[in-house]
Amino acid sequence: MQQMIPHHSNAVNMAKILLKHGSLAEIRAIEDFEDILWDIINEQNYQIHQFRGYLAGVSAYTAITHRGGTLGATSLGHHCDLTGGGDVAIASSSPAAVPAAAVPTCS
């Protein structure tokens, strides 16, 4: 649930960017699109509030310590540290290719 907070925050931010910087004519050209964007902002902000409330009330979550402090409702976790700045290196891998089985009904 902790990772749903930044996931929802990103959706809210994208909707806000479209409303602020998008072409109003293009937004209104798609039926109900403006309403959908406002729904995303309102509903997902409410869900973020619910997630934080839930996390703050779970003793197993708030009992976890990280870097000398306990996790709270707005904690991001060690992999999402806001002070971490910089590039992230992801090691590449080359999984072995596995031949696919033929599907008799496909041509």
Q: pLDDT tens digits for the chain (107 residues)?
A: 788 899 999 999 999 999 999 999 999 999 999 999 999 999 999 999 998 888 888 777 777 777 777 777 676 555 444 555 555 555 666 666 667 677 677 65
pTM, to two decimals: 0.61
Q: What is the pLDDT of residue 71?
A: 72
Q: What is the pLDDT of residue 3?
A: 84
Q: What is the pLDDT of residue 104?
A: 74
- The token duo for 90 is 């992801």
- The token duo for 76 is 């991001």
